[in-house]
Structure 1
Amino acid sequence: MSNSSPTNQSVAWQAHALLAVIAGLLILLLNMGVRQSMGLLLPDMQISFGWPMAELSFAFAVQNLVWGAVSPLAGVAAERYGTVRVLLVGTLLYAVGLALLALSESAWLYQFSNGFLIGVGVGATTFPVVLAAVGRHVGEPQRSFALGIVSAGGSLGQFLFALLTQWANSRFGWIEAVWILAACVLLMALFSPWLKTAVLPPKPRSETRERVHFDRRFVLLAMGFFVCGYHVAFISVHLPNLVAVCGLTPDVAANSLALIGLINVAGTVFAGWLGGRYHKPYLLSWIYGLRGAIVLAFIWLPKTAESFYFFSVVMGVLWLSTVPLTSGTLAQFFGTARLASLFGLVMFSHQIGAFFGAWVSGWLFDQTGNYDAVWLISAMLGFLAAAVHLPIKPERPAQAALA
């Protein structure tokens, strides 16, 4: 006779879910913290290599594109072979990419390491794989809030690693800073086993294509997430160079990125909490619209340390707050079992936007000597993303056949 009771099983499940939330938060803290702080090294990389900003930022653009292309593949692999295996392979590739970046002396090795290897590593260890695993451990009443907490790990990582990276860069140089980041990335392997999920059998491709890929809600979410990627890549990669162009110290850039991350810890958790109470796509409309407004306002502000900090505080509220709402909307409409691959596809759209945000911004800077056109594009895209979420009306969630 079994000694287990419903109460004991509930407590065990809750403990398992809590471990998954903690592990997901820590993995995203390391993953996104390292990734989002690398733009702080860009000015010193340009001095070291002597290359145009467009060439340097092109590697970050490729990195974002590879990250996006890998995300749905990593999601499918996690469903088919298990989350832990995918996370461990991604961690190794991420660390190797950083190590080769530190050793780079030629353009091809710089592009291969920073563009391709790091992109693959980030794509295999970031939001789609991690949030899908957490979503399968946490039930619907708490899922949106849990996804908000885990997503906040990326923001907390940005806060911590912006300070760490700037300190290491100023103390030792950008190459040594990259080695430190590579060592930090390896820590993700310690937390990966806590996100173990059951392997799922393959489903007919026609079913997924019919019910999801051509679903208007899915397409609109992907369009909105494209804009999110553009914003995040432009700001995280090019804000340090903008600070330098304005004649301000590198500490202003580090503090600005750290502020965005710190404020967004609360912003992302709050967005997840709101997502459990209000229609998530409407909340996304507000977030994107406010992004457009703050970017438009920042264009006209004098570029001082205070204006950068003001921008960072407001943008921090909105920064990664889109992640729990977008992933939560996918889980609500299409189920959780295939969330890794579905969110991976939406993430691909995000990273296409990031490609343009990183590379086109650098190209426009080389052509004009400033980022004015990039800010205007960012504002217009924010308002466009706000509009595309409005047609996603509250509907009855899809049944768990796809879950």
Structure 2
Amino acid sequence: MSAVITPDVRPLGWRTPLVIILCGCGVAVLAFGPRSSLGFFLTPMSQANGWGRDVFGFALAIQNLLWGIGQPFAGAVADRFGIVRVMSLGAILYAAGLALMAYSTTPAALDITAGVMIGFGLSGCSFNIVISAFGKLLPPEWRSFSFGAGTAAGSFGQFLFSPLAVALNQSFGWQTTLMMFGGAMLLVIPLSLALATRRNEAAPHAATADAAGTVPGQSLRAAFAEALGHRSYVLLVLGFFTCGFQLAFITTHMPAYLVDRGLSATVGGWTLAVIGLFNIAGSFASGWLASRYPKRHLLAANYFARAIAIAVFISVPATPAGTLVFGAVLGLLWLSTVPPTSGLVLLMFGTRWFATLFGFAFFSHQLGGFLGVLIGGLAFESTGSYDLVWWLAVLFGVLSGLINLPIVEKPVERPALAGA
């Protein structure tokens, strides 16, 4: 094995594990922050252009879907040609989408900017690519921590940008705020240099880190066939659908939902900020727990707990204090599915096509996000209420908890590799 494995990066003294993690976390903050605050532009953009909520919801549904569709392709390009190219192009698309979104005066223009451009931009520079870089570049003892840190950084982006979006909207207007967020996204390009990987080669630690082994010369088609024929991977992908459905619906529609229930937009901003803040702790805890306890149990517990939290929240009167408590509880569970999910993909298949296979799992997540945002807007326009979608989120949480329990946590069997 050691004879066919070459270093993934050229040795650079400044790219220590800590530097790689800090720069990757910086990318995650910038990529996740503006995207998680887009719900605060729903009301002002809709009022300015005379749209219903379904128009904005459809554009963000496209964004979630294309983010998911683009993720496996972005992962494959990153696996084949290196991460810097993918991240830089993604950041440019994302920044342009935010800036042009400020001048979108028709539903079609909004679909292209907020939907297509930001969606594909996210697929190239979001925390999914960051996590794949961590899996390839870092030694085994840093990986679980780095997965939690990268996920927590995305949450910090939500904590930072949600109240920032409210404050900037009030001070400068929503168009200027979008332009500012677009400019901030360009900082991803210099940060991505610390995450550079070499082309089409195995990771430097693959010989010792991956119990599944790195298959020399395994093609993308063979990797996909292997993954889609693996029952535990399929269950993992199906369960991840619910995470996207719940997160995208809540991020997009909760600010308006709270206003409908008599609370202020400020409460909505701080609720999403609290979700982001508590998810920092939840993500670090998830990364720590995923290295010590069965990952399938952590995932099942997360989905069951989300279902209970949502059911309680929508069944009691809406108050500022109660909403913030709900935000704190949900924050602990928000992205804490990512470390065990990515850890299972890495355990099953190794590092060679990690970005691609985790990207495909994330497609399921974003397909759920697409439906959560879309159904949310359509349900409100049809019934004047979000109740149907909230209860769907509860149902999906229970089903995903059950789906994750049968997952087998071990490397995929490769008889040919074992024989060799």
Q: In structure 1, what residue type is equivalent to 2:53? A: M
Residue type of the partner of 1:43? T
**What SS is found at the alignment partner of 1:103?**
coil
Matched, 1:224 2:220: no
Tell me how large the CA RMSD over aligned residues is.
1.9
Q: Quick one: structure 1 residues 401 and 13, their matched pair in 2 at CA, closer, same or farther if it must change by over 3 Å?
A: farther
Q: Which residue of 1 aligns with 2:365?
A: 350
User: Structure 2: where are the runs of 5+ without partners?
Assistant: 1-10, 202-216
Distance change (3 Å), C-alpha of 1:277 and 1:13? farther
- 2:230 touches 2:412 (CA, 8 Å); kept in 1? no
Which one is further off, 154-163 or 134-143?
134-143
User: 2 CA distance for matches of 1:297 and 1:200?
Assistant: 49
Q: Given the alignment of the two structures, is residue 290 of structure 1 paired with residue 300 of structure 2, yes or no?
A: no
8 A contact 2:32–2:127 mirrored in 1: no
1:383 to 395, 398, 409: 398
Matches within 5 A, 1:247-262: 247-262=262-277
Deviation string 1:65-93 (CA, Å, 9 cap, x unpaired) is: 00001100000111111100110011001
SS state of the match for residue 200, structure 1?
coil
Q: Distance in 2 between matches of 1:173 and 1:89?
A: 28
* Corresponding residue number in structure 1 for 2:320: 305
Q: TM-score, normalised by structure 1?
A: 0.94
Asked if 2 retains the 8 angstrom alpha-carbon contact of 1:166 and 1:251, the reply is: yes
Question: Which residue of structure 1 lines up, in the alignment, with residue 336 of structure 2?
Answer: 321
The TM-score, its normalising length taken from structure 2, stands at 0.90
Count, aligned residues:
392
Tell me how far apart the structure 2 counterparts of residues 81 and 289 of structure 1 sit (CA, whole Å).
39
SS of residue in 2 equivalent to 1:98: helix
**SS of alignment partner, residue 342 of structure 2:** helix
Higher relative helix content: 1
SS in 1 for 2:376: helix
Distance 1:278 1:113 in 2: 42
For residue 398 of structure 1, report the CA deviation from its aligned partner. 5.8
Query: Could you tell me which residue of structure 1 aligns to residue 407 of structure 2?
Result: 392
Shift of residue 195 of structure 1? 0.2
- Tell me if the contact between 1:334 and 1:398 (Cα under 8 Å) persists in the aligned partners: no
Amino acid at match of 1:61: A
1:166-208 CA distances to partner (integer Å, 9 max, x unpaired)?
Answer: 1111111111111111011111112010001121166334521
Q: Which amino acid aligns with 1:104?
A: S
Work out the CA distance in 2 between the residues paired with 1:46 and 1:176.
16
Paired residues of 1:128 and 1:339 also in contact (CA < 8 A): no
Question: Are 1:38 and 2:49 counterparts?
Answer: no
- 1:17-36 alignment to 2 at 5 Å? 17-36=17-36
**Any conservation in 1 of the 2:97–2:117 contact (CA below 8 Å)?**
yes
* Paired position in structure 2 for 1:184: 184
CA contact (8 A) 2:31 2:127 kept: no
What is the deviation of 1:224? 1.0
Amino acid at match of 2:245: Y
Offset at residue 401 of structure 1 (A): 6.5
> In 1, distance between residues paired with 2:147 and 2:409?
20
Where does structure 1 lack aligned partners over 5 or more consecutive residues? 1-10
CA distance in 2, matches of 1:91, 1:209: 27
- The question of whether the paired residues in 2 share the 8 Å contact of 1:77 and 1:86 is answered with yes
Work out the CA distance in 2 between the residues paired with 1:97 and 1:206.
32
Q: Is the 8 A contact 2:27 2:127 kept in 1?
A: no
